[in-house]
């Protein structure tokens, strides 16, 4: 059996000092690595200052070798904060207004990918299967190919791939498409992302679609598909069942004093639609006086990327907004919004989802959104809550038992909150059962196996290269 080599920007090296369970993606990839043996490589998250990063930091754990590298300050600035988070992230989330494109950052992005490739290449064996993750590392296959690596290489994009008109606003879009075409298999979260990718290639005359999953572009034939990521459904449901005993969850339940709980859980990010959601909640309260004092909205939002200015501003804005709504609507014995600005341990999170009658998941754009799936998995089958889900989350392609909303339509979302709270038990059960059955089958292990099977079983003779090469960006 070939070894598996996973490459991702950050690597969840197991921390034996912490008992907290890892997230689903880390569990699934670790299971695949445990089975096949292999390497997980990426950035250590640390900077070497101005000096060139030293040797790879190698950590062996059973059949897995974790290989981490530091980056210089300049690398972190240009590759990570610069191009990945201030160009690719906003553009892929349809936020052209927030994209801050600069040649220096773009060059840094390609340079760091070349650097990652140079560190990985000496570790590779000829029949290793390589699986690269996410938007930080799009050029990795091109760089490896240039170094003579002939292994099978797959790529999975965790975030959305926007339509041509949005993507083309990025001056370097052709290079990004060309780099994606260097993989043997490119995976997206949804059929829409896949269609956008194929559409962008065809629109620019850069490629053609040979069949639903085969594309030809830049002198290569390669495969592309959609592989919606899942969660560890059964394990998450078990946490949630047990979490009823958790002291923090019990305290939270008691503090509700019989009020219905509405929950929102997101990384603090403009793509998650938090401010529109708070507006919708305010409208819902104003439009439904009988709910005043009888519901509580808990928003759990750990800080993320707080050294990027947009995120710092957002943090202030959300805190102010929650404060304003509480000031305007709250009473001496009722706080309409409870706003927590940090992360919560997974078992506690599972328990909070379970005691919430409504899960409010309304991103303006999201590759998948695992919170929506976790909320469903955590419900009590006898008395499940209702998921309100943005139609612009990848999860909406699968979770059709949710109340689907347009998060830009604040009044519509407000109405959905009332509909969810008023929903009869039988309808709640039917909607939940349908989603849960789906999630039990389509869990994160299934996602991982599905992608790897397709990558490993590409038809013999693949890839087809016409031998056309292109110059690297310097
Ligand atoms: P993210 O944008 O980070 O992921 P998401 O899919 O919602 O978004 O995953 C967030 C994870 O972090 C969930 O497992 C959630 O439980 C956890 N989390 C969020 N807030 C938390 C809190 N306060 N405390 C503890 N845990 C918290 C990217 C893409 C998504 C895609 C995933 C996976 O942007 O669209 O679904 O990758 O492919």
Asked if residue 471 is part of any domain, the answer here is: no
Asked if residue 470 is part of any domain, the answer here is: no
52-61, 105-114, 212-221, range with greatest mean pLDDT:
105-114
User: How many domains are contained in the chain?
Assistant: 2
Contact 204, 218 (CB under 8 A): no
Q: Whose CA is nearest to atom 7 of ligand 1?
A: 369
Q: Cα(76)–Cα(73) distance, rounded to whole angstroms? A: 5
Residue 223 structure tokens: 């495969």
Task: Report the pLDDT value the prediction gives residue 308, as an integer from 0 to 100.
Answer: 72
Which ligand 1 atom sits closest to the C-alpha of 158?
Answer: 38
What's the CA-to-centroid distance between 398 and ligand 1, angstroms?
A: 17
pLDDT band at 19 (very low <50, low <70, confident <90, very high): low
Per-residue pLDDT, averaged over 394-405, amounts to: 98
pLDDT at residue 469 above 50? no
What's the CA-to-centroid distance between 372 and ligand 1, angstroms?
A: 10
Asked if residue 472 is part of any domain, the answer here is: no
Q: Tell me, yes or no, whether 43 and 112 share the same domain.
A: yes
User: pTM of this prediction?
Assistant: 0.95
Which ligand 1 atom sits closest to the C-alpha of 345?
Answer: 25
pLDDT at residue 235 above 70? yes
- Looking at the chain, the whole-number percentage of residues with pLDDT higher than 70 is 95
pLDDT at residue 460 above 80? no
What's the CA-to-centroid distance between 450 and ligand 1, angstroms?
A: 21
In a mutational test of the pocket of ligand 1, which residue from 22, 248, 263, 369 has the highest number of ligand atoms less than 8 Å from its CB?
369
Q: Tell me, yes or no, whether 417 and 336 share the same domain.
A: yes
Task: Report the pLDDT value the prediction gives residue 50, as an integer from 0 to 100.
Answer: 85
Residue 386 structure tokens: 């209702």
Annotation says 446 is catalytic: no
Q: Cα(434)–Cα(440) distance, rounded to whole angstroms? A: 10
Q: Cα(367)–Cα(93) distance, rounded to whole angstroms? A: 8
Asked if residue 31 is part of any domain, the answer here is: yes
Task: Report the pLDDT value the prediction gives residue 16, as an integer from 0 to 100.
Answer: 65
Contact 99, 169 (CB under 8 A): yes
What's the CA-to-centroid distance between 371 and ligand 1, angstroms?
A: 6
Ligand 1 site residues (CB inside 6 A) read 23, 25, 158-159, 229, 265-267, 300, 302, 343-344, 349, 366-371, 374
Q: Look at 167-176, 336-345, 407-416 and tell me which has the smallest mean pLDDT.
A: 336-345
What's the CA-to-centroid distance between 373 and ligand 1, angstroms?
A: 10
Which of 70, 366, 443, 446 is the catalytic position?
366
Phi then psi dihedrals of residue 40, to 5 deg: -120, 115
Q: Whose CA is nearest to atom 23 of ligand 1?
A: 343
Task: Report the pLDDT value the prediction gives residue 473, as an integer from 0 to 100.
Answer: 52
Asked if residue 463 is part of any domain, the answer here is: no
In a mutational test of the pocket of ligand 1, which residue from 265, 345, 354, 372 has the highest number of ligand atoms less than 8 Å from its CB?
265
Per-residue pLDDT, averaged over 165-193, amounts to: 97
Rounded to the nearest 10 degrees, what angle do helices 370-377 and 233-243 cross at? Answer: 60
pLDDT band at 435 (very low <50, low <70, confident <90, very high): very high
- Looking at the chain, the whole-number percentage of residues with pLDDT higher than 90 is 85
Q: Whose CA is nearest to atom 38 of ligand 1?
A: 158
Rounded to the nearest 10 degrees, what angle do helices 274-287 and 309-329 cross at? Answer: 10
Q: Tell me, yes or no, whether 88 and 11 share the same domain.
A: yes
Q: Tell me, yes or no, whether 330 and 196 share the same domain.
A: no
Closest CA to 190 of 367, 362, 387: 367
Which of 93, 133, 158, 446 is the catalytic position?
158
Task: Report the pLDDT value the prediction gives residue 309, as an integer from 0 to 100.
Answer: 75
pLDDT at residue 468 above 90? no
Contact 448, 28 (CB under 8 A): yes
Per-residue pLDDT, averaged over 98-127, amounts to: 97
Task: Report the pLDDT value the prediction gives residue 467, as an integer from 0 to 100.
Answer: 43
Per-residue pLDDT, averaged over 353-380, amounts to: 98
Which ligand 1 atom sits closest to the C-alpha of 265?
Answer: 20
What's the CA-to-centroid distance between 89 and ligand 1, angstroms?
A: 15
Which ligand 1 atom sits closest to the C-alpha of 160?
Answer: 35
Which ligand 1 atom sits closest to the C-alpha of 272?
Answer: 2
Which ligand 1 atom sits closest to the C-alpha of 366?
Answer: 35
The H or E element that residue 405 is part of is strand 403-405
pLDDT band at 24 (very low <50, low <70, confident <90, very high): confident
Task: Report the pLDDT value the prediction gives residue 312, as an integer from 0 to 100.
Answer: 83
User: Residue 127, Cβ neighbours under 10 Å: how many?
Assistant: 10
Contact 121, 144 (CB under 8 A): yes
Residue 1 Cα to chain centre, angstroms: 29
pLDDT at residue 284 above 70? yes
Q: Tell me, yes or no, whether 270 and 348 share the same domain.
A: yes
Q: Whose CA is nearest to atom 22 of ligand 1?
A: 343
Q: Tell me, yes or no, whether 307 and 165 share the same domain.
A: no
Asked if residue 107 is part of any domain, the answer here is: yes
pLDDT band at 47 (very low <50, low <70, confident <90, very high): very high
Q: Tell me, yes or no, whether 246 and 217 share the same domain.
A: no
Tell me what the pLDDT averaged over the chain comes to: 93
Q: Tell me, yes or no, whether 381 and 351 share the same domain.
A: yes
What's the CA-to-centroid distance between 370 and ligand 1, angstroms?
A: 6
Annotation says 158 is catalytic: yes
Range of the domain at 411: 233-441
What's the CA-to-centroid distance between 374 and ligand 1, angstroms?
A: 10
Q: Cα(310)–Cα(15) distance, rounded to whole angstroms? A: 31
Q: Tell me, yes or no, whether 281 and 336 share the same domain.
A: yes
Q: Tell me, yes or no, whether 224 and 249 share the same domain.
A: no
Residue 224 structure tokens: 């592309």
Q: Whose CA is nearest to atom 4 of ligand 1?
A: 369
Asked if residue 351 is part of any domain, the answer here is: yes
pLDDT at residue 424 above 60? yes
Q: Tell me, yes or no, whether 208 and 314 share the same domain.
A: no
Contact 80, 109 (CB under 8 A): no
Asked if residue 462 is part of any domain, the answer here is: no
Which ligand 1 atom sits closest to the C-alpha of 344?
Answer: 24
Q: Measure Cα distances from 310 to 15, 258, 315, 401 in Å.
A: 31, 38, 9, 34
Q: Tell me, yes or no, whether 249 and 219 share the same domain.
A: no
In a mutational test of the pocket of ligand 1, which residue from 84, 354, 371, 398 has the highest number of ligand atoms less than 8 Å from its CB?
371
CATH of residue 124: 3.40.50.2000
Q: Cα(415)–Cα(392) distance, rounded to whole angstroms? A: 18
Task: Report the pLDDT value the prediction gives residue 213, as an integer from 0 to 100.
Answer: 95
């Amino acid at each position: 059996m070939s070894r598996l080599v996973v490459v991702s920007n950050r690597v969840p090296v197991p921390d034996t000092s912490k008992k907290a369970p890892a997230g689903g993606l880390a569990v699934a990839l670790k299971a695949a690595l445990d089975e096949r043996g292999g390497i997980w490589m990426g950035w250590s998250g640390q900077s070497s200052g101005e000096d060139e990063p030293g040797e790879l930091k190698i950590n062996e754990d059973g059949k897995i070798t974790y290989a981490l590298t530091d980056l210089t300050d300049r690398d972190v600035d240009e590759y990570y904060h610069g191009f990945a988070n201030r160009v690719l992230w906003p553009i892929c989330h349809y936020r052209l207004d927030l994209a801050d494109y600069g040649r220096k950052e773009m060059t840094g992005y390609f340079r760091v990918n070349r650097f990652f490739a140079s560190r990985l290449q000496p570790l590779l064996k000829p029949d290793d299967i390589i699986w690269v993750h996410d938007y930080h590392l799009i050029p990795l296959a091109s760089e490896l190919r240039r170094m003579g690596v002939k292994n099978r290489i797959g790529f999975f994009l965790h975030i959305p791939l926007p339509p041509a008109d949005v993507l083309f606003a990025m001056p370097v879009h052709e290079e990004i498409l060309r780099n994606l075409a260097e993989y043997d298999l490119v995976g997206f979260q949804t059929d829409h992302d896949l269609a956008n990718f194929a559409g962008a290639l065809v629109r620019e005359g850069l490629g053609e679609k040979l069949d639903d999953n085969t594309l030809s572009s830049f002198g290569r034939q390669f495969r592309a598909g959609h592989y919606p990521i899942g969660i560890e459904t059964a394990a998450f449901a078990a946490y949630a069942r047990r979490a009823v005993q958790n002291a923090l969850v019990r305290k939270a339940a008691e503090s509700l004093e019989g009020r219905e709980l509405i929950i929102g859980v997101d990384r603090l990010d403009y793509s998650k639609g938090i401010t529109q959601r708070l507006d919708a909640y305010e409208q819902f309260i104003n439009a439904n006086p009988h709910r005043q004092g009888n519901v509580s909205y808990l928003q759990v939002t750990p800080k993320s990327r707080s050294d990027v200015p947009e995120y710092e501003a957002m943090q202030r804005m959300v805190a102010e907004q929650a404060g304003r709504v509480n000031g305007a609507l709250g009473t001496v014995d009722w706080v309409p919004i409870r706003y927590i600005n940090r992360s919560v341990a997974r078992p506690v999170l599972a328990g909070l989802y379970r005691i919430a009658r409504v899960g409010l998941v309304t991103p303006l754009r999201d590759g998948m959104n695992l919170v929506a799936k976790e909320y469903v998995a955590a419900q009590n089958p006898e008395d499940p809550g209702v998921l309100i889900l943005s139609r612009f989350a990848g999860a909406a392609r699968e979770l059709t038992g949710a109340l689907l909303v347009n998060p830009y339509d604040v009044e519509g979302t407000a109405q959905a909150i009332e509909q969810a709270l008023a929903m009869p038990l039988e309808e709640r059960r039917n909607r939940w059962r349908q989603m849960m059955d789906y999630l039990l089958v389509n869990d994160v292990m299934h996602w991982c196996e599905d992608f790897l099977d397709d990558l490993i079983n590409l038809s013999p003779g693949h890839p087809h290269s016409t031998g056309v090469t292109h110059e690297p960006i310097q």
